Amino acid sequence: MSPASGAGGKKGLALILGGSGFVGTRLAPLLREQGWAVRIGDVRRSEAFPDLWMECDVTSPESLRKAVTGAAVIINLAAEHRDDVRPLSRYGEVNVEGARKVCDAAREAGIGKIIFTSSVAVYGFQPKAVDEAGPFDPFNAYGKTKLEAEGVYRAWAEEDAARTLTMVRPTVVFGEGNRGNVYNLLQQIASGKFLMVGAGKNVKSMAYVGNVAAFLAHVLSMGPGVHILNYVDGPDMDTITLVEHIRKCLGKKGSAPKFPKSLAMMGGHLLDVVARISGRTFPISAIRVRKFCESTQFRADRVKGTGFVPPYTLAEGLARTIAFEFPAK
């Protein structure tokens, strides 16, 4: 264990599981600024903070036992989340069984505070914006296992009234260095290859990584009990408005060409079949077409009640990401 990882924190040691990734890399320095010592536990080495990293797999009780030693709080960002994870059992192994093992390690170490990043995927596709009460209708293995993991953490919290559990359900998170669906959209628009699939009237909730990391640092101050909060950076945009904002940031004129949703879905299903037969992955799939065309809108009214003020607006987050990823544009 690196001496630097556990030293010098006035507030104690915060363990970030999955901290080598996109959100954890932004969160670690914020916690250090607040006076926390930080340890990053991850199967992958932290390129940004190698001195804070120790190898840890949430499916391994032994490695978890070492990682939680001396920690005052566990922040679990670790998850299987991509659309193309195979075998599907990996979602359950990491997201659900991993949650059980994290709770076991917390019990053994006497840790009474956990922050768990769940996901708005637990709601599935809903016809209108939903708050933390649901309804819940996850459409894929990722959303189903995140919802099941929430139950595991809730059971841990309810064993002792002095424990603190904060479950944050972020909407789709984007930002500098991420290679998720929002980046794919930006890249397609920047390259001139983007086609507007469908009418574009569907509404998208989004969250900038700088704000998500700041919110996770903010909720460390929450007291005992179970706290569940959606996280969204508003105001939400429909897809046409979002695409036009991105095009404006990139200095592009005119409107994007349009393509029928029905044909895009047919193409997505065809590529899904090819992917299963060949073992290859493609940037287009039926579920990604559906995600693009569906409204994914969520309410995050509880965030205001915590006193949190996002450091950036949604438009600023998009502009910062575009300037970083496509400086020549």
Write out the catalytic residue numbers. Answer: 142
Alpha carbon distance 147, 149 (integer Å): 5
Query: Helix (H, G, I), strand (E, B), or coil: what is residue 73?
Result: strand
Alpha carbon distance 91, 171 (integer Å): 19
Question: 29 near 40, Cβ under 8 Å?
Answer: no
Beta bridge partners of 169: 230
Helix, strand, coil percentages, rounded to 5, for the chain:
45, 20, 35
User: 207-227 burial string, b = 16+ CB within 10 Å, else e?
Assistant: bbbbbbbbbbbbbbeeeeeeb
Tokens for 162, please give them: 């002095």
Nearest-CA neighbor of 166 among 112, 111, 226, 211?
A: 226
Amino acid at 30: L
